[in-house]
Structure 1
Amino acid sequence: MEILQAALLGIIQGLTEFLPVSSSGHLELAKFFLGDTSAAEESLLMTIVLHAATALSTIVIFRKDILEIFRGLFAFENNEAARFSGKIILSMIPAALVGLLFEDAIEQLFAQQVPLVAGMLVITGLLLFLADRAKTTGREVSWSHALIIGIAQAIAIIPGISRSGATISTSVLLGIDREKAARFSFLMVVPLILGKIAKDVLDGDFAETPNLVPLLIGFTAAFITGLFACQWMIKLVKNSQLSYFAIYCFIIATIAILAWAL
């Protein structure tokens, strides 16, 4: 993979991980348009590295919240921090189970499946339209909410379904306060990404020595752009401006399927 391609993929990941337009879907479309011929394993490795970069962006932005989560994990009383930590853990279970049970099938989805990505982008757009028109009741994230949001995150493993779009839209449709929905959405993915990276290292899935330069370039680009995109997305959710991204998803899906067909 060329350095310029890696930088471009990093920028795309940094922006689209937090914006509700599917980072995995955009990465697969970018690889298609750039003519990336990497093997599925190498392509997936780049995807994992880029997600690690945006996970680090999340940790930097939400460092105080993450510290509270760790305090909650080791709390010996039923306080707010402990309950929030428990809800984060509960929300991780569906995606973790899907990732473990269907790992090989999921890997094949990250092989420039353009029609699949286009179709899932349309679904993402519809979700965003619904969320923008939902009434907010200002609810907190409950235990049942955490499980439902976790199921939405598991479905968003499919490239083209925006993880942030699916989880935030689901939260808003449940009546959860928009800012709290965005905060919960971004925090719940960090342990999953870090866990996936640790599993791949322990399993030796990438035993062959990869080209580290493109990975480093991609990681840096994704991290820097992710810092800006994360803060921007929180403001957009609060101001109910998700419909613009729904329209964007429809446009990109149309362009992608036309390019693939031709």
Structure 2
Amino acid sequence: MSVFQAFLLGIIQGLTEFLPVSSSGHLEIGHHLLGIKGHNNLVFAIVVHGATVLSTLVVFREDILSLCKGLFAFQWNDETKYISLLFLSAVPIAALGLFFREEVESLFTGNLVFVGIMLIFTASLLAFSYFAKSKDKKIGWLDSLIIGVAQALAVLPGISRAGSTIAVGLLLGKKKEDMARFSFLMVLIPILGANCIDLFAHEANPGEPLGILPLAVGFVAAFVSGLLACKWMIRVVKQGKLIYFAAYCFVIGLIAIFAG
């Protein structure tokens, strides 16, 4: 992987991790366009995902600090309940990763037709959520589990994690601001967990090494673009403009299908 390829893929990862357009789908398309095949990019994936985690921590630093203070009060309060809801939302994707990891990984084969179909599914989900009416309901236990299932489905290349979780939350009648916050915080647990698993897997099977420069460039590109995308996406959700991303996903999905 060249430095320029790492730069482009880092930007793609940073932007699409937070925008409702599927980071996995766009990375598959990016690998196809850049002709990156047969390389061991596991370490690169861990690095750029770590960069997007860091950008999330920066954007939501005040929320995270408040949650930590409530947690270390060692009593059942709003913060402890919220953290519990975040962990509950991670159960579906954790189960998927533990028991069906190989099946999921087998889907990442550069099949653009499959990616295109899933992007159109994402577009449909975003379009439906655009017409959902907010009932100003707080996120409850069942809501957290349902939103967690949506996050688990987003492991499929072409289904947006941010898009599916926010859209499902809006369809459940949750407030836009609450869903933006919950969606971006809930991703921290599975990403950190998956990265730890991948890191141990890499130690057992290191494969082809990558240079420090591509890793550094990819990290910086993913962090900066992720920081900008996260802040922008919060405003987009609050303003109810997800329909524009629905149109984008539909068009890109059609292109991917015909290109495949």
TM-score range, shorter chain: over 0.9
Output the TM-score relative to the length of structure 1.
0.94
The 8 Å contact of residues 115 and 253 in structure 2, kept in 1 or not, is answered as: yes
Q: Distance in 2 between matches of 1:129 and 1:16?
A: 18
- Residues 201-255 of structure 1, C-alpha deviations (whole Å, 9 max, x = no match): 2332552433332222111101001111101001111111011101100111111
**Corresponding residue for 2:82?**
84
**Corresponding residue for 1:168?**
166
Amino acid at match of 1:215: L
Amino acid at match of 1:10: G
1:135 and 2:133 aligned: yes
SS state at 2:187 partner: helix
- Residues 9-33 of structure 1, C-alpha deviations (whole Å, 9 max, x = no match): 1111111111100011000001111
SS state at 2:90 partner: helix
Structure 1: gaps (5+ residues): none
SS state at 1:246 partner: helix
The 8 Å contact of residues 164 and 185 in structure 1, kept in 2 or not, is answered as: yes
RMSD: 1.4
- Percent identity, aligned pairs only, is 49
121 and 167 in structure 1: CA distance in 2 versus 1, 3 angstrom threshold: same
**Corresponding residue for 2:191?**
193
Q: Distance in 1 between matches of 2:155 and 2:131?
A: 25
Give structure 1 regions of 4+ aligned residues with deviation exceeding 4 angstroms: none
**Corresponding residue for 1:227?**
227
The 8 Å contact of residues 44 and 110 in structure 1, kept in 2 or not, is answered as: no
**Corresponding residue for 2:206?**
207
- Count of matched residue positions in the alignment of Structure 1 and Structure 2: 258
Amino acid at match of 1:163: R
Amino acid at match of 2:226: G
**Corresponding residue for 1:246?**
246
**Corresponding residue for 1:157?**
155
Q: Distance in 2 between matches of 1:146 and 1:238?
A: 20
**Corresponding residue for 2:114?**
116
Q: Distance in 1 between matches of 2:25 and 2:45?
A: 11
Amino acid at match of 1:256: A
Amino acid at match of 2:98: L
- Residues 98-143 of structure 1, C-alpha deviations (whole Å, 9 max, x = no match): 0111112222222312111111000000000011110011111111
SS state at 1:109 partner: coil
The 8 Å contact of residues 48 and 218 in structure 2, kept in 1 or not, is answered as: yes
SS state at 1:139 partner: coil
Cα offset for 1:44? 4.1
Output the TM-score relative to the length of structure 2.
0.94
Q: Distance in 2 between matches of 1:252 and 1:9?
A: 17
The 8 Å contact of residues 53 and 188 in structure 2, kept in 1 or not, is answered as: yes
The 8 Å contact of residues 72 and 83 in structure 1, kept in 2 or not, is answered as: no
**Corresponding residue for 1:58?**
56
SS state at 2:234 partner: helix
Q: Distance in 2 between matches of 1:258 and 1:162?
A: 20
Amino acid at match of 1:192: P
Amino acid at match of 2:23: S
Q: Distance in 2 between matches of 1:205 and 1:221?
A: 28
The 8 Å contact of residues 9 and 30 in structure 2, kept in 1 or not, is answered as: yes
Cα offset for 1:68? 2.8
Q: Distance in 1 between matches of 2:116 and 2:204?
A: 29
